[in-house]
Every structure is written in C-alpha cells, then in structure tokens.
Chain A
C-alpha cells in the first residue's frame, strides 16, 4: 500500500513553454502533498506544501507564479512549471503524507525535466 505515482517520468521541452507534472496517490487519500526539487547529488529541497482544496504554501525563495500547484482532489496534485528556462532543469519529486495522519511521506518516482 501507500503507492504514489508521478507522470511524466521524463520531459524535454523548449525554453518558454510550460510543463505540467501530475502526482497521484493510488491507494490512499492524501490530504497533504509535497513538491520537492532535487539537484544532482544533493538533498530534497521542499518547494511547496499542497493541501486539498486550498492554496499551496510555498517555501521562501520559490516563485509561486512560476511553479503553479493545484491540489484538486484527495488523490491528485499537479505542478506546472510556467515559461520554463534551462535553469529550471531538475529532478522534481512529489510526496503524499501517510494515511490517517501517520506523518510518513511516500514519494513518487520523480520527473526529470530538461529545458533546452
């Protein structure tokens, strides 16, 4: 149980375009989802916390107009990178908090974004 999927796994786009990444909890309802960015050989950098039905809470330094987050249901959160630039190239990982408020975060497989 506690499976989180993420789509797409890889995406290559041109500079200036927008990219949407989906994160789904497959076998549980996740009231809270998290979006992370991970640079090569580095730790997980929390970008934002997403609660179902409310606006996401962004971490300091993360542009909310550039990284649009929508958490429309208890099983789906989306991250849209708007007007992507090469410096946005990274590994983006979502996670969903465990069932029944158990604190455990379960991670998606990640999305490798490359902006040309």
Chain B
C-alpha cells in the first residue's frame, strides 16, 4: 500500500550546524509534499511544502528538495537554533487524495 518512510528517527546537532531529514514515498502519483513541525503537546504546523512540478523550494533557513524519479524528498535546515528542536513530519499526498505521514524525526539542537 501507500507508504512514506522517514529517516532518521532521531537527529541531534550542534547549534549553527545544518540538519537534513529524508523521506521516500511509494505512490508515484503523489504530487504534493508538505513538511510539518510539531512541538511537544502542540499541533503540527506547516513549515514548507513542495509540489511535484518543482525540484527545490527555499524559505529563509529551510529548504526542501524533491527527486520525483527516485521518489524521495528532503528537508534541509541551516544554521539551526535551539527553537528548531521539535518533531518533524514529512508527508505525501497520493493520487487517491489521501495524505500519508512519515513516522517523524525528533530533532534536538544543542546550544
């Protein structure tokens, strides 16, 4: 069935370093890929998204890349700050109009 795999499950970086989270999806008809940030006890918040007709999108310190051929997409956070610490979820909206979420990556940014 439809599946989104996300790696790593946990990521610890030093403040100022970059963090990269990678996801792969199974449904080649997927055409929309959002990324959400969820702080402890709070709702997931959309931080960036990309559509299948675009290979890369950037918003300040956050960027997302998409490789449709390989069916994978990645989140890049540069110059990480302690407030970036959270759980990040990737997702893929399939041709069946269902959004499938990855398992999440717990990011720790050490000051």
Q: What is A's interface to B at a CB cutoff of 8 Å?
A: 34, 41-44, 46, 49, 93, 103-110
Contacts and interface: CB of A to CB of B under 8 A. Distances in A.
Contact of A103 (B32, B41, B101): B32
A46 B101 CA distance: 9
Given A43-B101, A43-B103, A104-B49, A93 B43 contact: yes
A16 B41 CA distance: 26
Given A103-B32, A104-B34, A105-B34, A46 B98 contact: yes
Query: Chain B at the A interface: mostly helix, strand, loop or mixed?
Result: strand
Contacts of B32: 103
Interface of B: 32, 34, 36, 41-46, 49, 89, 93, 98-99, 101-104, 106
A75 B41 CA distance: 24
B103 A49 contact: no
Contacts of A107: 36, 43-45
B24 to A, nearest CB: 15
A104 B46 contact: yes
Give the 3 A-B residue pairs with the shortest CB-CB distance, closest first.
A107-B43, A103-B32, A43-B103
B49 A42 contact: no
B30 to A, nearest CB: 11
Contact of A109 (B43, B49, B93): B43
B101 A44 contact: yes
B98 A43 contact: no
A108 B99 CA distance: 16
Nearest to A46: B98
27 contacts: A34-B99, A42-B103, A42-B104, A43-B89, A43-B101, A43-B102, A43-B103, A44-B44, A44-B89, A46-B99, A46-B101, A49-B98, A93-B43, A93-B44, A103-B32, A103-B34, A103-B49, A103-B93, A104-B49, A106-B46, A107-B36, A107-B43, A107-B45, A108-B43, A109-B42, A109-B43, A110-B41
B91 to A, nearest CB: 8
